[in-house]
């Protein structure tokens, strides 16, 4: 448990590192056993798995998150964020439409479980059909 302000600062730092492309800081904010629920996909466990996921994402997409709104529970053990993803599809991702540098704007959200002043679980959500419509056109 942590104060609500600390929880919200942790999530703000997480997204600040993401937007800066600072993967060392970004991954350093995760517990060793972090659980990552991939949108419409499997759950991966561990910082190493999350790092491999981010390597793929950073190769295939260029993204910035804007209009970030952070909320947290009173005891600081949970948090959520709503934001808009501004992205560019750089390299074709397996099973998805062909990449041709398409740009997209996608509302998204995430839920967090926090432990020991780090992110212990993150579950991301966005409308995959909306993204496919934007990049597949």
List the structure tokens of 63: 């993204």
Give me the pLDDT at residue 137, please. 65
Question: Residue 88 forms beta bridges with which residues?
Answer: 62, 103
Query: Residue 112: how many CB atoms within 10 A of its CB?
Result: 21
- Cα 64 to its chain centre, rounded Å, is 11
The DSSP line for 68-137 is EEEEE-TTSSEEEEEEEEEEEE-SPPTTSPPPSS-EEEEEEEEEEEEETTEEEEEEEEE-HHHHHHHHH-
pLDDT tens per residue across span 25-48: 999 999 999 999 998 889 999 999
pLDDT tens per residue across span 44-90: 999 999 999 999 999 999 999 999 999 999 999 999 999 999 999 99
The pLDDT of residue 117 is above 80: yes
CA 20, CA 122: separation in Å to the nearest integer?
Answer: 19
């Amino acid at each position: 448990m942590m104060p609500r302000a600390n929880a919200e600062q942790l999530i703000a730092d997480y997204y600040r590192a993401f937007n800066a492309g600072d993967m060392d800081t970004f991954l350093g904010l995760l517990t060793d056993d972090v659980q990552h629920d991939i949108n419409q996909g499997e759950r991966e466990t561990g910082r190493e798995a999350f790092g491999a996921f981010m390597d793929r994402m950073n190769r295939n997409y260029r993204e910035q998150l804007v209009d970030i709104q952070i909320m947290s529970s009173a005891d600081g053990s949970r948090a959520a964020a709503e934001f808009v993803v501004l992205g560019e599809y750089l390299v074709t991702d397996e099973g998805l439409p062909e990449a041709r540098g398409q740009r997209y704007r996608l509302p998204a959200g995430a839920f967090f479980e926090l432990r020991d002043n780090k992110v212990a679980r993150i579950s991301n959500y966005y409308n995959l059909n909306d993204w496919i419509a934007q990049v597949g056109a």
